[in-house]
Structure 1
Amino acid sequence: MTGERATGPPRRDTPRRTARAGALRRVAAAAGGVLAAAAALGAAELAAGVLGRATASPLLAVGAGFIDLTPMWLKDLAIRRFGDDDKTVLLIGLAAGVTIAALVLGLVSRRRPAWSLAGLAAFGAVGIAAALTRPTARLADAVPSAVGALVGMAALTLLIRSARSAERKAVRGPQLEAEGLDPELPGGPKRRPQDERTGLPTARRQVLLTGAGVAGVAAVGGVAGRLLLRRGDVSSVRAGLRLPRPAGPARPVPAGAQVQAPGMTPFRTSSKDFYRVDTALVLPRVDPRAWTLRIHGMVARPVELSFDDLLRQALVERDITLACVSNQVGGDLAGNARWLGAPLAPLLRRAGILGGADQILSRSSDGMTLSTPIETILDGRDALLALGMNGEPLPIAHGFPARMVVPGLYGYVSATKWVVDLKVTRFATDQAYWTKRGYAPRAPIKTFSRIDVPKPLATVKAGRVAVAGTAWAQHRGVDAVEWQADDGPWRPARLAPVPGLDTWRQWIAEWDAAPGSHTLRCRATDGTGRTQLEHRAPPSPDGATGWHSVVITVT
Structure 2
Amino acid sequence: MTGERATERPRRSAAALCGLLAAAAAMGVAELAAGVLGRASSSPLPAVGAGFIDLTPVWLKDFAIRRFGDDDKTVLLLGLGAGITVAAVAIGLLGRRRLAWGLIGLAGFGAVGVVAALTRPVAEPLDTLPSAVGALAGMAALVLLARSRRPAHARPHEPAAAAEDAESAPGDRGGADRRRVLLTGAGVAGLAAAGGVGGHLLLRRGDVSSVRADLRLPGPADLARPVPAGAQVRVPGMTPFRTPGRDFYRVDTALILPQVDPREWTLRVHGMVARPVEMSFDDLLRLPLVERDITLSCVSNQVGGDLAGNARWLGVPLAPLLRKAGIRGGADQILSRSHDGMTLSTPLETVLDGRDALLAVGMNGEPLPIAHGFPARLVVPGLYGYVSATKWVVDLKVTRFATDQAYWTERGYAQRAPVKTFSRIDVPKPLAGLKAGRVAVAGTAWAQHRGVDAVEWQVDNGPWRQARLAPVPGQDTWRQWIGEWDAAPGSHTLRCRATDGTGHTQPQDRTPPFPDGATGWHSVVVTIT
- What's the TM-score, normalizing by structure 2? 0.97
**Following superposition of structure 1 onto structure 2, how do residues 404-553 of structure 1 map, counting pairs within 5 Å?**
404-553=378-527
**SS of structure 2 residue aligned to 1:397:** helix
Instruction: Name the larger-Rg structure.
Output: 1
Once residues 215 and 169 of structure 1 are traced to their aligned partners in structure 2, the CA distance between those partners, rounded to angstroms, is 23
Shift of 1:278: 0.1
Shift of 1:43: 0.5
What amino acid is aligned across from residue 126 of structure 1 in structure 2? Answer: V
What amino acid is aligned across from residue 20 of structure 2 in structure 1? Answer: V
For the 8 Å contact 2:428–2:442, the answer to whether it is kept is yes
**SS of structure 2 residue aligned to 1:507:** strand
**Following superposition of structure 1 onto structure 2, how do residues 25-64 of structure 1 map, counting pairs within 5 Å?**
25-64=11-50
The structure 2 residue matched to 1:142, chosen from 106, 128, 145, is 128
Equivalent position of 1:5 in the other structure: none
Equivalent position of 1:19 in the other structure: 5
Shift of 1:414: 0.2
**SS of structure 2 residue aligned to 1:201:** helix
Once residues 19 and 369 of structure 1 are traced to their aligned partners in structure 2, the CA distance between those partners, rounded to angstroms, is 57
The structure 2 residue matched to 1:387, chosen from 361, 364, 376, is 361
Q: Deviations over 1:462-483 (max 9, x none)?
A: 0000000000000000000000
**SS of structure 1 residue aligned to 2:151:** helix
**SS of structure 2 residue aligned to 1:165:** coil
Equivalent position of 1:331 in the other structure: 305
Shift of 1:171: 4.4
Equivalent position of 1:104 in the other structure: 90
Equivalent position of 1:159 in the other structure: 145
**SS of structure 2 residue aligned to 1:272:** helix
The structure 1 residue matched to 2:256, chosen from 235, 260, 282, is 282
1:89 aligns with 2:75: yes
Shift of 1:172: 5.5
The structure 1 residue matched to 2:267, chosen from 289, 293, 297, is 293
For the 8 Å contact 1:495–1:505, the answer to whether it is kept is yes
For the 8 Å contact 1:163–1:207, the answer to whether it is kept is yes
What amino acid is aligned across from residue 104 of structure 1 in structure 2? Answer: A
**SS of structure 2 residue aligned to 1:130:** helix
Shift of 1:202: 1.3
Once residues 297 and 436 of structure 1 are traced to their aligned partners in structure 2, the CA distance between those partners, rounded to angstroms, is 20
The structure 1 residue matched to 2:206, chosen from 232, 235, 238, is 232
Q: Deviations over 1:335-379 (max 9, x none)?
A: 000000000011000000000000000000000000001111111
Shift of 1:169: 8.4
Shift of 1:110: 1.2
Once residues 101 and 237 of structure 1 are traced to their aligned partners in structure 2, the CA distance between those partners, rounded to angstroms, is 40
For the 8 Å contact 1:250–1:317, the answer to whether it is kept is yes
Q: Deviations over 1:438-463 (max 9, x none)?
A: 00010000000000000000001000
Shift of 1:535: 0.8
Once residues 229 and 368 of structure 1 are traced to their aligned partners in structure 2, the CA distance between those partners, rounded to angstroms, is 21
Distance 1:205 1:523, change over 3 A: same
**SS of structure 1 residue aligned to 2:96:** coil
The structure 1 residue matched to 2:372, chosen from 394, 398, 415, is 398
Equivalent position of 1:12 in the other structure: none
1:80 aligns with 2:54: no
Once residues 56 and 535 of structure 1 are traced to their aligned partners in structure 2, the CA distance between those partners, rounded to angstroms, is 45
Once residues 94 and 427 of structure 1 are traced to their aligned partners in structure 2, the CA distance between those partners, rounded to angstroms, is 35
Distance 1:17 1:357, change over 3 A: same
**SS of structure 1 residue aligned to 2:139:** helix
Shift of 1:16: 3.7
Once residues 169 and 339 of structure 1 are traced to their aligned partners in structure 2, the CA distance between those partners, rounded to angstroms, is 67
Shift of 1:113: 1.4
Q: Deviations over 1:153-188 (max 9, x none)?
A: 0000111111122685884643xx8xxxx652xxxx
Once residues 105 and 165 of structure 1 are traced to their aligned partners in structure 2, the CA distance between those partners, rounded to angstroms, is 21
Once residues 29 and 123 of structure 1 are traced to their aligned partners in structure 2, the CA distance between those partners, rounded to angstroms, is 18
Shift of 1:112: 1.8
Q: Deviations over 1:367-404 (max 9, x none)?
A: 00000011111111000000000000000000000000
- What's the TM-score, normalizing by structure 1? 0.92
For the 8 Å contact 2:361–2:376, the answer to whether it is kept is yes
For the 8 Å contact 1:277–1:324, the answer to whether it is kept is yes
Shift of 1:116: 1.2
What amino acid is aligned across from residue 66 of structure 2 in structure 1? Answer: R
Q: Deviations over 1:136-162 (max 9, x none)?
A: 000000100100110000000111111
Distance 1:514 1:395, change over 3 A: same
Distance 1:507 1:21, change over 3 A: same
Once residues 181 and 448 of structure 2 are traced to their aligned partners in structure 1, the CA distance between those partners, rounded to angstroms, is 65
Comparing 138-147 with 108-117, which one deviates more in the overlay? 108-117
Comparing 118-127 with 417-426, which one deviates more in the overlay? 118-127
For the 8 Å contact 1:446–1:543, the answer to whether it is kept is yes
Shift of 1:20: 1.9
What amino acid is aligned across from residue 479 of structure 1 in structure 2? Answer: D
For the 8 Å contact 1:173–1:183, the answer to whether it is kept is no
Q: Percent identity?
A: 79
Once residues 35 and 212 of structure 2 are traced to their aligned partners in structure 1, the CA distance between those partners, rounded to angstroms, is 22
Once residues 448 and 164 of structure 1 are traced to their aligned partners in structure 2, the CA distance between those partners, rounded to angstroms, is 68
Shift of 1:432: 0.3
For the 8 Å contact 1:169–1:203, the answer to whether it is kept is no
Distance 1:172 1:78, change over 3 A: closer
Equivalent position of 1:114 in the other structure: 100
Shift of 1:21: 1.6
What amino acid is aligned across from residue 130 of structure 1 in structure 2? Answer: A
Comparing 122-131 with 495-504, which one deviates more in the overlay? 122-131
The structure 1 residue matched to 2:287, chosen from 313, 321, 328, is 313
Equivalent position of 1:258 in the other structure: 232
Equivalent position of 2:324 in the other structure: 350
What amino acid is aligned across from residue 204 of structure 1 in structure 2? Answer: R
Distance 1:164 1:256, change over 3 A: same
